[in-house]
Structure 1
Amino acid sequence: MSNQKLAFLSKFYLLILVIISLWGCAAMQRPTGGPRDLTPPKVVKATPENMTRNFTAKQIQIEFDEFYKLTNQYQEISISPAQEKLPEYDVSKKLLTIKFKDSLQKNTTYVINFGKAIADVNENNVLKNFTYVFSTGPHIDSLSITGQVFNTSTQEREKEATVFLFPISQDSLMFGKKKPTIFTSTDSAGNFSLNNLREDTYAIYALKEQAANKIYDNDAELIAFLKKPIKVDKDTSGIKLNLFKQTPEKFRIVEKRFNQDGKLSFLFNRPLNKPAIKLLSPTALDGQKIVEFTKTRDSAFVYMRNMDFDSLSVQILENGKALDTVPMLKQRKERFDRATTFTFNINKNGMFKPNTDLIIKGNLPIESFDKSYFTLTEDSVAENNFTLQKDTANLRSIVMKYRFRPGSKYELTFNEGAVTNIYGDKNKKSAIKFQGDKIENYSVLTLQVKVPEAGKSYVVEMLDDQKNLLNTNVITADSKLIYRNILTGKYFFRVIYDNNGNGVWDSGNVRRKTYPENIWLSDKEVTLRPNWDAEETLVVPKEVIVP
């Protein structure tokens, strides 16, 4: 055979091999497109079978219909009754093997709750609330408790909340210290079901966690409970648990720091009643400080004209009583970035509410301003008949008074040096554009509120369609509330049953077994149309007292 033919055949065979290789690779590719897998793993077989009586095995094998993973098994999986020696969990492809390391009690029903430990490998779809039940005797406990979990503030059903039980004999020893062995999670409608319970008396709780450890150990977590224990000697239904954020009993400063602009900022773990801040040292600085608390009274800012110090001793007070004293350290000649910026009471669309003053709010307290450095144009025509004055309620704000016209376009320019802050720093040149909103885009709402019991205090709150709080009124009898210049849209009303008459919502306390003040959210949607005077009636129902 000639060299030419050999070369041809070699190239031919090489081409065939390449084609076969490419075809094989293409055939092995995973199909693309199609619907996303939303199904968690399913149990195909369990050995011994689920709900086995007279159980004597040393291990359990559970087979799933797909490859799965086990996550946080020692946090998520619980066995009731609890065992001193935790089982061993072996994962092998589609098979889970649970090996007991402790002996089992006689004539006892065991419930293994897997929580959210089991999920598929590819999409992380979780098999929620799967339980494996067996009994070492001839009888399996079959009692149940069912109910719903609600959020006290929103009055909506709460999904993904953990509901758990402690036998009443263990309640004070276990709650907040060890995770429960009897628990479940609420579904998307806030429903829960605790099954295979033995006859006993239980304390019941619900928890919306920050960390998934099933222990109430964080001030930010929501908690719910029933004052009275539940005696389970038959199936129990209709349990309602109301989650709330408990006001911490012990005051704590969550965060303290010097910001880049030099102000001190503090974050507290709870709102303060009549808060105050005092500088203990250097004592000369206390008289020249400026303190600003947020509306929620759980944060504070401290500004000082004189920054020539390297340490401070700061005292936090409530109702005149010292709560805590903390040191604050910095370099004596430390430099700060104090670029002067402004915000305005203009909505995100650049529209300005009619019949209101323009509030110019600086990022730092304002020492002085020069009106001649402000330029206002209306529809491109310069205007000078405006006035500027300091806001006595906020040292960071300037109030501009002018007859702003609906539909007109405005530009306000701050020329360099228009504003001087308390540190002597002046602003750089900047400008803001906005437009006077039309009066017909706003409405007046007259709300006739009828209360169930005169003499008692009620806090009526107006909410927008995102449930943001807009207005608050405290009433003690049937009242007419008038809301003026309200932007057209959809609104809702919420009422706090203000039992102690302090005008605010008060939290409950788990340790003292006190419930939070009840809240009622009207399901009636109030729609305000352009240039419309609307009248609505709000009938507040009688408060439902939970025993």
Structure 2
Amino acid sequence: MLNKRDLFFYKNLLFVAIVLMIFGCASQQLPHGGPKDVTPPRLVKATPPNMTRHFAAKTVRLDFDEYFKLNNQFTEISMSPVQDKQPEFKIKDKSLVINFKDTLQKNTTYVINFGKAIQDVNEGNTLKNFTYVFSTGPHIDSLSVSGNVTNSLTQQREKDVTVMLFPMDKDSVYFGKKKPTIYATTDTAGNFSLNNLHDGDYTIYALKESAPDRIYDKDDELIAFLKKPIHLYSDTSDIKLSLFQQDPQKFRMVEKKFDQDGKLFMVFNKKLTNPSLKVIYPPTFDNLKIVEFSKTNDTAKLYMKNMDFDSLSVAVLDNGKPIDTVTKEKGRKETFKKDFTFVLSSGANNKLKPYTDLLITSTAPIDNIDESQITLSEDSTSVAFNLVKDTSGTRKFTMKYHWKQDAKYIVDFEPGAFTSIYGQKNIRFVKSFTIDKAENYSTLTLHVTVPDTSKQYIVQFYQDNKNILNSYPISKNGNIVYKNYLTGKYHIRVIYDSNRNGKWDTGNVKKRLYPENIWIDPTEITLRPNWDAEDKLDIPREVVVQ
């Protein structure tokens, strides 16, 4: 029999065990993580079933395997044929209930296209191109149109592009004005399929938008089309659509502002051919302007030597003809921060490309240069140089010298070496650099064969599609030599220059013009260090799409 002391000991021991058990259990947690949900909601049941004939219901119930939401339902969801009173869509738990508010036509196939509206609640996974189809008669339309969409410039397949089909008799009424009722979105491989179509004649378009509304109404949108209608009396496949950005029909000023340094900065909605600016107010200030246009002629910088004005009116001209007038106000005594410094073409790595001049760019237009205040040192010894103003503007000039591979150079601009148009004198600017090793660069000789000497082609050399390094027009067999290019991987693109104007011309929907064709050589060119490479370019015959 236990005495009181033993009994007290065992009671305490039991208490400790219970406490440890409780806290031990409390500290146990379910494992975190696991694979991320990447699957969209899945239809489990439809009432009435999808593809129902002799449809007579007033309500449709779609049951899914998880909770979902409707994203942009008024933009994404459409019904064909269109009803005067749109159906009502309500979410109940994991189900979507559709209530029809209008009378359905007899012997008609209806397609409800949900686009990208149905998304799961947690991860936003989208059920793309889901349709609910039914017929009020004994027959369901079953014809289809399929194909793919590519980008004209890159020749790459494009995903998430809306492909739209319009009945011929409604094309001019709907396209660019109303959302289509027959559409599909391309998959990751750029493929599309439009199903449950009625026989007849259709026009087809593809549209890529930054803010989707399925209406072609913005300058930056990409569009594709077929000139000839689709005569749909049997399944039609292998439709090829090529996207392009159309040149805006009307000139528009996208942006106009006085920058911190006082220049008037302007952005246009389109590239101009031969742009110029004229100051029309104040009336005597036009001869005080300095203008710079971008290489693509779609932006302009206007510097004024005299800033004593409260507003500036500028006429924009192209080929000498006025196309717009810009007016921008400012305070007459408003001050601007006019930084006056320089950037050298030796770049961030302080290495100048071999066999090139040193390009110097100032942040403000230059009015005067005092070369006696400029020093170029080679290995700590001053050397003579030649300074030449750049013809493209008043902010650029080149320093010419016979550079040596292993030498160290220092450019020194003493205070007052440069005077800006605002009367500013530069503060001291010192920059050191070396000449990059010649073995880091290569030369490529391209032996070009053209398929038709009566036509012109533009051979473009590039590393990425936004950085064309060289464009060379050619109309006969010959060689193109690319000298002094950094080692790396390059590509060749050929434009079929049908109008022989030396540039790529885009298409026009209204005029039913396709963009000029482009062919990209699938062979990647590798330039190795200190290597003179040779390669062949056999340009294939142009495939003309009617």
Pairwise TM-score range, normalised by the shorter structure: over 0.9
CA-CA distance at 1:89 after TM superposition: 1.4
- C-alpha offsets along residues 161-183 of structure 1, whole Å, 9 cap, x if unaligned? 11010111100000011110111
CA contact 1:409–1:435 (8 Å) conserved in 2: yes
| Percentage of pairs with the same residue | 56
The reply on whether 1:535 has 2:534 as its aligned counterpart is yes
Q: Which residue of 1 aligns with 2:476?
A: 477
CA distance in 1, matches of 2:69, 2:244: 34
Q: Which residue of 1 aligns with 2:184?
A: 184
- Given the superposition, is the C-alpha separation of residues 79 and 336 from structure 1 closer, same or farther in structure 2, using an over 3 Å criterion? same
Q: Which residue of 2 aligns with 1:168?
A: 168
Q: Which residue of 1 aligns with 2:499?
A: 500
Q: How does 1:319-398 map to 2 (within 5 A)?
A: 319-379=319-379, 381-398=380-397
CA-CA distance at 1:20 after TM superposition: 5.8
CA-CA distance at 1:373 after TM superposition: 3.6
Deviates more, 1:283-292 or 1:236-245: 283-292
Q: Which residue of 2 aligns with 1:6?
A: none
Q: Which residue of 2 aligns with 1:157?
A: 157
CA contact 1:375–1:382 (8 Å) conserved in 2: no
CA-CA distance at 1:36 after TM superposition: 1.8
Q: How does 1:410-421 map to 2 (within 5 A)?
A: 410-421=409-420
CA distance in 1, matches of 2:161, 2:151: 10
Q: Which residue of 2 aligns with 1:68?
A: 68
Q: How does 1:153-302 map to 2 (within 5 A)?
A: 153-302=153-302
The reply on whether 1:488 has 2:487 as its aligned counterpart is yes
Q: How does 1:27-46 map to 2 (within 5 A)?
A: 31-46=31-46
Q: What TM-score results when the alignment is normalised by the length of structure 1?
A: 0.93
CA distance in 2, matches of 1:60, 1:13: 62
CA contact 2:186–2:192 (8 Å) conserved in 1: yes
- Given the superposition, is the C-alpha separation of residues 129 and 411 from structure 1 closer, same or farther in structure 2, using an over 3 Å criterion? farther
The reply on whether 1:453 has 2:430 as its aligned counterpart is no
Q: Which residue of 1 aligns with 2:461?
A: 462
CA-CA distance at 1:393 after TM superposition: 2.7
Deviates more, 1:172-181 or 1:60-69: 60-69
- C-alpha offsets along residues 36-77 of structure 1, whole Å, 9 cap, x if unaligned? 221111111111111111111111111221121111001011
CA distance in 2, matches of 1:260, 1:185: 44
Q: Which residue of 1 aligns with 2:4?
A: none
- Given the superposition, is the C-alpha separation of residues 230 and 523 from structure 1 closer, same or farther in structure 2, using an over 3 Å criterion? same
- C-alpha offsets along residues 364-388 of structure 1, whole Å, 9 cap, x if unaligned? 2111233344444445x24332332
- C-alpha offsets along residues 210-241 of structure 1, whole Å, 9 cap, x if unaligned? 21101111100000000111011101011000
CA-CA distance at 1:317 after TM superposition: 0.8
CA distance in 2, matches of 1:14, 1:231: 85
The reply on whether 1:115 has 2:115 as its aligned counterpart is yes
Letter matched to residue 525 of structure 1: E
CA distance in 1, matches of 2:502, 2:283: 36
Letter matched to residue 389 of structure 1: V
CA distance in 1, matches of 2:210, 2:370: 50
Deviates more, 1:479-488 or 1:150-159: 479-488
Letter matched to residue 277 of structure 1: L
CA contact 2:41–2:125 (8 Å) conserved in 1: yes
Letter matched to residue 273 of structure 1: T
- C-alpha offsets along residues 12-37 of structure 1, whole Å, 9 cap, x if unaligned? 9999799869956965x6x4222222
CA contact 1:210–1:218 (8 Å) conserved in 2: no
CA contact 1:452–1:542 (8 Å) conserved in 2: yes
CA contact 1:244–1:507 (8 Å) conserved in 2: yes
CA contact 1:465–1:490 (8 Å) conserved in 2: no
- Given the superposition, is the C-alpha separation of residues 368 and 45 from structure 1 closer, same or farther in structure 2, using an over 3 Å criterion? same
Structure 1 SS opposite 2:251: coil
CA-CA distance at 1:508 after TM superposition: 1.1
CA-CA distance at 1:428 after TM superposition: 3.0
CA contact 2:339–2:364 (8 Å) conserved in 1: no
CA distance in 2, matches of 1:16, 1:180: 70
Structure 1 SS opposite 2:424: coil
- Given the superposition, is the C-alpha separation of residues 453 and 321 from structure 1 closer, same or farther in structure 2, using an over 3 Å criterion? same
CA distance in 2, matches of 1:18, 1:170: 78
CA distance in 2, matches of 1:250, 1:487: 41
CA distance in 2, matches of 1:208, 1:409: 52
Structure 1 SS opposite 2:169: coil
CA distance in 2, matches of 1:179, 1:60: 24
CA-CA distance at 1:107 after TM superposition: 1.2
Deviates more, 1:316-325 or 1:403-412: 403-412
Letter matched to residue 544 of structure 1: V
CA contact 1:120–1:126 (8 Å) conserved in 2: yes
CA-CA distance at 1:494 after TM superposition: 1.1
CA contact 1:119–1:127 (8 Å) conserved in 2: yes
CA-CA distance at 1:535 after TM superposition: 1.7
Letter matched to residue 290 of structure 2: I
Letter matched to residue 424 of structure 2: D
The reply on whether 1:79 has 2:79 as its aligned counterpart is yes
Query: Where does the alignment leave 5 or more consecutive residues of structure 2 unmatched?
Result: 1-10
CA-CA distance at 1:432 after TM superposition: 3.3
CA-CA distance at 1:540 after TM superposition: 1.2
- Given the superposition, is the C-alpha separation of residues 65 and 428 from structure 1 closer, same or farther in structure 2, using an over 3 Å criterion? farther
Q: What TM-score results when the alignment is normalised by the length of structure 2?
A: 0.93
CA contact 2:154–2:465 (8 Å) conserved in 1: no
- C-alpha offsets along residues 502-523 of structure 1, whole Å, 9 cap, x if unaligned? 1111111111111111111111
- Given the superposition, is the C-alpha separation of residues 436 and 213 from structure 1 closer, same or farther in structure 2, using an over 3 Å criterion? same
Q: How does 1:505-524 map to 2 (within 5 A)?
A: 505-524=504-523
CA distance in 1, matches of 2:294, 2:425: 25
Structure 2 SS opposite 1:492: strand
CA contact 1:339–1:427 (8 Å) conserved in 2: no
Letter matched to residue 154 of structure 1: T
Q: Which residue of 2 aligns with 1:422?
A: 421
CA contact 1:509–1:516 (8 Å) conserved in 2: yes
- Given the superposition, is the C-alpha separation of residues 467 and 263 from structure 1 closer, same or farther in structure 2, using an over 3 Å criterion? closer
CA distance in 2, matches of 1:153, 1:272: 20
CA distance in 2, matches of 1:376, 1:519: 47
Q: Which residue of 2 aligns with 1:545?
A: 544
Letter matched to residue 104 of structure 2: L
Letter matched to residue 328 of structure 2: M
- Given the superposition, is the C-alpha separation of residues 393 and 197 from structure 1 closer, same or farther in structure 2, using an over 3 Å criterion? same
CA distance in 1, matches of 2:103, 2:119: 29
Letter matched to residue 168 of structure 1: M
Q: Which residue of 2 aligns with 1:3?
A: none
- Given the superposition, is the C-alpha separation of residues 540 and 97 from structure 1 closer, same or farther in structure 2, using an over 3 Å criterion? same
Letter matched to residue 107 of structure 1: N
- Given the superposition, is the C-alpha separation of residues 369 and 198 from structure 1 closer, same or farther in structure 2, using an over 3 Å criterion? same
CA distance in 1, matches of 2:495, 2:455: 11
CA-CA distance at 1:343 after TM superposition: 2.2
- C-alpha offsets along residues 407-445 of structure 1, whole Å, 9 cap, x if unaligned? 444443434333221111123334434331111111121
CA contact 1:458–1:476 (8 Å) conserved in 2: yes
Q: Which residue of 2 aligns with 1:436?
A: 435
CA distance in 1, matches of 2:15, 2:92: 43
- C-alpha offsets along residues 104-159 of structure 1, whole Å, 9 cap, x if unaligned? 11111111111111111121111111111111111111111111101001111111
- What RMSD in Å do the two structures reach over aligned CA positions? 2.5
Q: Which residue of 1 aligns with 2:104?
A: 104
Letter matched to residue 364 of structure 2: L
CA distance in 2, matches of 1:433, 1:106: 83
CA distance in 1, matches of 2:28, 2:48: 43
- Given the superposition, is the C-alpha separation of residues 216 and 17 from structure 1 closer, same or farther in structure 2, using an over 3 Å criterion? farther
**Aligned residues, how many?**
540
CA contact 2:459–2:493 (8 Å) conserved in 1: yes
